[in-house]
């Protein structure tokens, strides 16, 4: 079974530039998550999708971050414009369905450096 795929694996940009990350979840998984992991900290949920609808985006800085999951499969996370504090690893995860008993499977992450 193929895992969660993310690209790119690494990205370096200057502040005020824009960047986009892509995630392909495990086939058949209805729930998709984006987490931000700042160096030395645990991951923090940015946004959760159920199929192509947003379930939780309470921690997403909506003035600069946006995300979509068209057709309920792949998802993109965009930052525009980027700030220095956005330097982090962005993790995508998916689960079969929404709920506390469903295991989340994580992708390898995209490491973003903003200079």
Partner 1 sequence: AQSVTQLDSHVSVSEGTPVLLRCNYSSSYSPSLFWYVQHPNKGLQLLLKYTSAATLVKGINGFEAEFKKSETSFHLTKPSAHMSDAAEYFCVVNGNQGGKLIFGQGTELSVKP
Q: Which residues bind partner 1 (CB under 8 A)?
A: 3-4, 31, 33, 40-45, 48, 55-56, 91, 93, 95, 98-104, 106-109
Q: Give min distance, CB of 46 to partner 1, in A.
A: 11
By C-beta, is 15 or 55 nearer to partner 1? Answer: 55
Give the residues across from 66 on adjacent strands: 78
Q: Give min distance, CB of 50 to partner 1, in A.
A: 8
* C-beta contacts of 64-71 below 8 A and 24+ residues apart: 67/34, 69/32
Alpha-carbon radius of gyration of the chain:
13
By C-beta, is 27 or 40 nearer to partner 1? Answer: 40
Q: Give min distance, CB of 100 to partner 1, in A.
A: 4
- Which class for 23: exposed (0-12), middle (13-18), buried (19 or more C-beta within 10 A)? buried
By C-beta, is 9 or 83 nearer to partner 1? Answer: 9
- CA nearest to 34, candidates 64, 4, 13, 1: 4
């Amino acid at each position: 079974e193929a895992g969660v795929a993310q690209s790119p694996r690494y990205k370096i940009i200057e502040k005020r530039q824009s960047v986009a990350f892509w995630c392909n979840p495990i086939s058949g998984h209805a729930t998709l998550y984006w987490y931000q992991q700042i160096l030395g900290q645990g991951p923090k949920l940015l946004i959760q999708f159920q199929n192509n609808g947003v379930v939780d985006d309470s921690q997403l800085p909506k003035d600069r971050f946006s995300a979509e999951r068209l057709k309920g499969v792949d998802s993109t996370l965009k930052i525009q414009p980027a700030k220095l504090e956005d330097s982090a690893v962005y993790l995508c995860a998916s689960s079969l369905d929404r709920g506390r008993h469903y295991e989340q499977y994580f992708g390898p992450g995209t490491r973003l450096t903003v200079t």
